[in-house]
Structure 1
Amino acid sequence: MRTSRFTIAMAAVGCIVALGGSALYAQAKQDKYALKSASGIPFSEWKGYEDWSVVSSARTDDVLKVIVANPTMIAAYKSGIPGNGKPFPDGSKIAKLQWSQKKSTEAPFVVDVPDAYKQAFLMQRDSKRFAKSDGWGYAVFNYDAKAGTFTADPTGVQDCGQSCHVKVKESKDSIFHPYQMR
């Protein structure tokens, strides 16, 4: 009888551990698209950004960045925008995805590679909705690799994004990165 109760108790503990593990996995698979930025823009407006085409890449001392854009913006780049003096059309969306970096331990040469995912900096063109910020809406979502979750950046980047991008407003329609040669 004692062995039987012990066996049942251990089985119950195993089930609880397994369920707890499932709950943690479910938490890590958070619905990031349910979040809204500090400026009120929902992450869901960039749904599918993970599969967009690469525009460019960049590196700072702290992060590696890959810049991707939706098909509307890629088509605009290919038509000559912004170099032809025309603005990106409404519906254009771009995402700057950022990772911390580390030296590759596998490559036979010195190269920095992505480490932990850090942030998605997002912009979208809607000249009516975002008229106060030159037609561009800005949102930032930070990623916590340990927790496996995104959070809206609390700094209210709507104004910060526009104030940084105004430097290239006239020459590049507020977009720093050109579509790179393939």
Structure 2
Amino acid sequence: MMLAHFRAPLVAMALVLAAAANQGAVAADVTGTPSPIYGVTIPKGYRQWQMVAPAEEAAPLDELRVVLGNPLAIKAIESATQPFPDGTVLVKLAYRKKQSDDFAPATVPGEPTTVQVMVKDSRRYASTGGWGFGRFINGVPADAAQHQTCFACHAALVKDRDYVFTRYAR
């Protein structure tokens, strides 16, 4: 009975990870255009990074998300190192949720919505807790107005965790 309770969420998360590895609609590896304000770009090869955690965003966004971390991020997370060391990079991939055509109880990734990037550089981003932010839609940086909200939200809600929302999923 307990296994049946977890089956649908596990299937959905497996599908999110598969989509993250194979989704071509977000042209993330081809952009070199930096985000406004912070100058963050999408790092090459990020789709081969280890998963930090999956997430589900409720309405109004209704998204499935997965956060990936570069090797430095994973090492810091596994050892509970905070603040995160300079060079840490976290990437969040977001997809619209949809019901599976193959398994009705499952929610699966639909269209990709954004690639979001956090880069730790305590000198460059001293005024924002050491973090630079990038939000990309179809590989193109979102406008400056959207980037202005990044740090304010992180500072208000997770300052005590070095401004990082995601917790490691073991």
Per the shorter chain, which TM-score range?
Answer: 0.7 to 0.9
* Counterpart residue identity of residue 158, structure 2: V
SS of the residue 2:102 aligns to:
coil
Question: Matched residues in 2 for 1:39 and 1:112: separation?
Answer: 35
Question: Matched residues in 1 for 2:71 and 2:168: separation?
Answer: 13
SS of the residue 1:43 aligns to:
coil
Give 1:57 shift: 1.1
Give 1:34 shift: 2.0
Q: Which residue of structure 2 aligns with residue 165 of structure 1?
A: 154
Question: Matched residues in 2 for 1:30 and 1:120: separation?
Answer: 7
Q: Which of structure 1's runs of 4+ aligned residues deviate more than 4 A?
A: 28-31
Q: Which residue of structure 2 aligns with residue 180 of structure 1?
A: 169
Give 1:117 shift: 1.0
- The yes-or-no answer on 1:127 pairing with 2:116 is no
Cα deviation per residue 1:99-143 (whole Å; 9 max; x = unaligned)?
Answer: 111100102x50110011110011010000000101000011012
TM-score normalised to structure 1 length = 0.71
Question: Matched residues in 2 for 1:30 and 1:71: separation?
Answer: 19
Give 1:176 shift: 0.7
Give 1:158 shift: 3.9
Question: Matched residues in 1 for 2:28 and 2:117: separation?
Answer: 19
Q: Which residue of structure 1 aligns with residue 110 of structure 2?
A: 115
- Count the aligned residue pairs: 141
- The yes-or-no answer on 1:52 pairing with 2:49 is yes
Q: Which has the higher contact order (CA 8 A, sep 6+)?
A: 2
Question: Matched residues in 2 for 1:178 and 1:160: separation?
Answer: 21
Unmatched 5+ stretches in structure 2 = 1-25
TM-score normalised to structure 2 length = 0.76
SS of the residue 1:118 aligns to:
strand
Question: Matched residues in 2 for 1:29 and 1:56: separation?
Answer: 22
Q: Which residue of structure 1 aligns with residue 68 of structure 2?
A: 68
Q: Which residue of structure 1 aligns with residue 101 of structure 2?
A: 105
Give 1:156 shift: 4.1
Q: Which residue of structure 2 aligns with residue 80 of structure 1?
A: 80
Question: Matched residues in 2 for 1:100 and 1:59: separation?
Answer: 10
